[in-house]
């Protein structure tokens, strides 16, 4: 049966609309939106209500790869170096050594439970060894989960940077299974080469992107997203072409660019945030269409057992070992272990052995689907509850900030910070002239119940006022908060 372009566009439009509608409705019950997108894809599939037959693994893999590239780049743009720098090394260890330990432990367990060869078990372990950037970013950020002790930047850094390691392991064990005469030791230099080239290309392209954006002077603002998109796709493709890790390159480039001043920074960041959400929806819908429930149900029992082992044994052990040389409390390690969310990326990686013709690829794919479903449903719905239970939750009081020079590309240090006064705030009831504000700070605007007030020395602050305050540095912000809050 052939489909016209109009048929495909109509189906895509309906699926996108249903995904957003379902996520808005059922999301209030605490069900992660990503699971709902996956569910819509399954219901629309050949064995669901929609009856759309889709078994094109190559197309699913290609779409998933493009989606992951853009999701990682968007996550890199939103990664703030100031908050990431203190946790950089623990994040790197978790995203490399931690992934390797998880893959080894789960691989050994799976080979014993399923009767797989050790290599087949390690392949399964590798596919689900990384936490999913899309799942972690969307759940932590959409629910404004505040966490103590730099836990949030640690988790976001790990999830954004550990896909390259899982990808390398997946490709390596797939290669070993399809080329039995290859020695495992031969993959070690390949690993260091891929990671080194990926990191260097990412750093180089991050600086090049900032330089190009600030100097090209395009007449139409709408061309800047197209320009950056071209550079992102080039970064991934060229890095892969020269035998580097393209996923690591695009994430690193995003981090470098996101921590620099460049023209239209806010609008470009918002553009890629929207693109990332669109890619997540398309990724989960496509992979949902690829799932056949009749083939998944027979592996329900072993899928649950492997999921339980991953969540309660393999992931915690990998976290505890990885963080043994860092000053991280037991409660923090338990929480990091719990935020081991698996999302669409493992399902995407499971398509590689299918295309390579690995004998157990079909069973591995179906088990991976169960692992993802259980992980997001169990862990994704309880992140806030577990954080509160461990005493690691806090109100997300980080002020909204706007760096004044970022839209025009200036290297300005001034920032506008939004602060809201509570009923008992220190500044309530005082006029601006009575406040002992730092010399270089200034209240430039007041939002009072939806109406804007232009402040002057006689303006008296009231409860629930939202203040836009211009500051020069972090020390000033600290003093301003003491005066006003």
- pLDDT value at position 196? 94
What is the C-alpha to C-alpha distance for residues 7 and 3, in angstroms, rounded to an integer? 6
User: How much is the mean pLDDT over the chain?
Assistant: 84
Same domain for 116 and 46:
yes
Mean pLDDT of the region 419-427: 83
User: For the chain, first and last CA: distance in Å?
Assistant: 66
Contacts of residue 191, Cβ cutoff 8 Å, sequence gap at least 6 = 168, 172
Q: Tell me which of 204 and 189 has the higher pLDDT.
A: 204
Domain assignment present for residue 468? The answer is yes
Residue 398, pLDDT above cutoff 90: no
Residue 30, pLDDT above cutoff 60: no
What is the C-alpha to C-alpha distance for residues 176 and 407, in angstroms, rounded to an integer? 49
Task: Place 139 in a pLDDT band, splitting at 50, 70 and 90.
Answer: low
What is the C-alpha to C-alpha distance for residues 469 and 476, in angstroms, rounded to an integer? 11
Task: Place 200 in a pLDDT band, splitting at 50, 70 and 90.
Answer: very high
Mean pLDDT of the region 420-431: 84
What is the C-alpha to C-alpha distance for residues 136 and 381, in angstroms, rounded to an integer? 12
Secondary structure class of 171 (helix, strand, coil): helix
Same domain for 385 and 294:
yes
- pLDDT value at position 118? 92
Residue 393 and residue 332 in contact, taking contact as beta carbons nearer than 8 Å: no
What percent of the chain clears pLDDT 70, i.e. is strictly above it? 89
Residue 126, pLDDT above cutoff 90: yes
- pLDDT value at position 314? 95
Q: How many domains are there within the chain?
A: 2
Domain assignment present for residue 394? The answer is no
Residue 407, pLDDT above cutoff 70: no
Q: Tell me which of 294 and 225 has the higher pLDDT.
A: 225
Residue 242, pLDDT above cutoff 70: yes
- pLDDT value at position 137? 63
Task: Please list the alpha-helical segments (H only) found in 143-222.
Answer: 151-161, 163-178, 187-215
Q: Which of 272, 288, 274 is nearest to 348 (CA)?
A: 288
Residue 372, pLDDT above cutoff 80: yes
Task: Place 51 in a pLDDT band, splitting at 50, 70 and 90.
Answer: confident
Task: Place 364 in a pLDDT band, splitting at 50, 70 and 90.
Answer: very high
- pLDDT value at position 304? 92
Same domain for 338 and 444:
no
Residue 31, pLDDT above cutoff 70: no
- pLDDT value at position 141? 60
Of the candidate ranges 181-195, 219-233, 361-375, the one whose mean pLDDT is the lowest = 181-195
Mean pLDDT of the region 185-202: 89
Q: Which of 90, 172, 92 is nearest to 352 (CA)?
A: 172
Residue 238 corresponds to which tokens in the numbers above? 């060229």
Domain assignment present for residue 325? The answer is yes
Same domain for 383 and 437:
no
Same domain for 295 and 188:
yes
Same domain for 375 and 288:
yes
Residue 19 corresponds to which tokens in the numbers above? 């995904």
Residue 459 and residue 431 in contact, taking contact as beta carbons nearer than 8 Å: yes
* 91 burial type by CB count under 10 A (0-12 exposed, 13-18 middle, 19+ buried): buried
Domain assignment present for residue 451? The answer is yes
Contacts of residue 5, Cβ cutoff 8 Å, sequence gap at least 6 = none
Q: What's the pLDDT tens digit per position in 163-193?
A: 889 999 999 999 999 988 777 787 888 888 9
Domain assignment present for residue 395? The answer is no
Task: Please list the alpha-helical segments (H only) found in 339-485.
Answer: 344-349, 351-356, 361-378, 383-389, 474-484
Q: Which residues of 285-324 are buried (b: 16+ CB within 10 A; e: fewer)?
A: bbbbbbbbeeebeebeebbebbbebbbeebbbbbbbebbe
Final residue of a domain: which of 361, 389, 417?
Answer: 389
- pLDDT value at position 297? 83
Secondary structure class of 109 (helix, strand, coil): helix
Sequence-distant contacts of 118-124: CB under 8 A, at least 24 apart: 119/173, 119/176, 119/177, 120/177, 120/358, 120/359, 120/360, 120/364, 122/169, 122/173, 123/170, 123/173, 123/174, 123/177, 123/353, 123/358, 123/364, 124/306, 124/364, 124/367, 124/368
Q: Tell me which of 124 and 375 has the higher pLDDT.
A: 124
What is the C-alpha to C-alpha distance for residues 203 and 254, in angstroms, rounded to an integer? 9
Tell me, letter by letter, the H, E, C secondary structure of 379-418: CCCCHHHHHHHCCCECCCCCCEEEECCCCCCCCCCCEEEE
Same domain for 147 and 12:
yes
- pLDDT value at position 349? 92
Query: What is the CATH classification number for the domain harbouring 447?
Result: 3.30.70.1450
Residue 406, pLDDT above cutoff 60: no
Task: Place 32 in a pLDDT band, splitting at 50, 70 and 90.
Answer: low
Final residue of a domain: which of 338, 370, 389?
Answer: 389
Secondary structure class of 128 (helix, strand, coil): coil
Same domain for 436 and 381:
no
Q: Which residues pair with 401 in a beta bridge?
A: 417
Contacts of residue 293, Cβ cutoff 8 Å, sequence gap at least 6 = 42, 47, 48
Task: Place 119 in a pLDDT band, splitting at 50, 70 and 90.
Answer: very high
Expressed as residue numbers, the domain containing 437 is 400-484
Query: What is the CATH classification number for the domain harbouring 90?
Result: 1.20.1530.20
Task: Place 212 in a pLDDT band, splitting at 50, 70 and 90.
Answer: very high
Final residue of a domain: which of 340, 356, 389?
Answer: 389
Residue 27 and residue 36 in contact, taking contact as beta carbons nearer than 8 Å: yes
Same domain for 48 and 22:
yes
What percent of the chain clears pLDDT 90, i.e. is strictly above it? 32
Residue 258 and residue 79 in contact, taking contact as beta carbons nearer than 8 Å: yes
- pLDDT value at position 145? 59
Domain assignment present for residue 204? The answer is yes
Same domain for 478 and 352:
no
Same domain for 379 and 466:
no
Q: What's the pLDDT tens digit per position in 296-354?
A: 888 888 999 999 999 999 999 999 999 998 888 899 999 999 988 887 788 889 999 99
Same domain for 435 and 286:
no
Residue 286, pLDDT above cutoff 70: yes
What is the DSSP pairing of strand 466-471 with strand 442-448?
Answer: antiparallel
Mean pLDDT of the region 32-41: 75
């Amino acid at each position: 049966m052939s489909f016209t372009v109009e048929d495909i566009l109509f189906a895509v439009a309906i699926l996108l609309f249903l995904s957003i509608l379902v996520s808005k409705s059922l999301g209030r019950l605490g069900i992660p939106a990503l699971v709902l997108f996956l569910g819509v894809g399954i219901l629309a599939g050949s064995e669901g209500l929609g009856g759309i037959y889709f078994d094109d693994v190559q197309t699913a893999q290609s779409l998933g790869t493009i989606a992951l590239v853009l999701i990682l780049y968007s996550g890199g743009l939103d990664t703030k170096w100031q908050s990431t720098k203190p946790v950089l090394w623990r994040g790197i260890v978790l995203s490399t050594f931690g992934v390797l330990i998880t893959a080894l432990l789960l691989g050994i367990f799976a080979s014993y439970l399923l009767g797989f060869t050790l290599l087949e078990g390690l392949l399964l372990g590798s596919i689900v060894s990384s936490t999913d950037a899309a799942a972690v970013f969307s759940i932590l950020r959409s629910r404004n989960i505040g966490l103590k002790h730099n836990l949030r930047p640690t988790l976001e850094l790990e999830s954004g940077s550990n896909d390259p390691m899982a990808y390398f392991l997946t490709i390596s064990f797939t290669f070993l299974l399809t080329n039995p005469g290859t020695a495992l030791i031969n993959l070690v230099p390949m690993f260091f080469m891929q990671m080194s080239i990926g990191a260097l290309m990412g750093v180089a392209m991050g600086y090049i992107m900032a330089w190009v954006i600030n100097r090209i002077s395009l007449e139409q603002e709408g061309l800047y997203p197209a320009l950056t998109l071209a550079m992102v796709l080039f970064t991934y493709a060229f890095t892969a072409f020269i035998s580097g890790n393209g996923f690591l390159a695009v994430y690193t480039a995003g981090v470098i660019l996101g921590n620099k001043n460049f023209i239209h920074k806010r609008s470009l960041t918002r553009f890629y945030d929207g693109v990332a959400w669109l890619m997540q929806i398309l990724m989960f819908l496509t992979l949902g269409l690829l799932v056949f429930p009749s083939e998944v149900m027979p592996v329900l029992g072993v899928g649950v057992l492997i999921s339980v082992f991953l969540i309660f044994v393999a992931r915690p052990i990998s976290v505890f070992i990885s963080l043994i040389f860092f000053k991280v409390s037991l409660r923090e390690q338990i929480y990091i272990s719990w935020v081991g969310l698996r999302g669409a990326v493992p399902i995407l990686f499971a398509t590689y052995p299918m295309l390579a013709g690995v004998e157990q690829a079909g069973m591995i794919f179906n088990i991976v689907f169960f692992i993802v479903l259980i992980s997001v449903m169990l862990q994704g719905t309880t992140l806030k509850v577990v954080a509160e239970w461990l005493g690691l939750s806090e109100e997300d009081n980080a002020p909204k900030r706007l760096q004044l020079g970022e839209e025009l590309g200036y290297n300005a240090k001034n920032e506008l910070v939004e602060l809201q006064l509570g009923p008992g705030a220190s500044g309530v009831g005082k006029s601006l002239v009575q406040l002992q504000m730092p010399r270089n700070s200034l209240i430039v605007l007041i939002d009072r119940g939806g109406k804007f007030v232009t402040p002057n020395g006689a303006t008296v602050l009231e409860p629930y006022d939202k203040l836009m305050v211009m500051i020069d540095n972090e020390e000033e912000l600290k003093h301003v908060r003491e005066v006003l809050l």
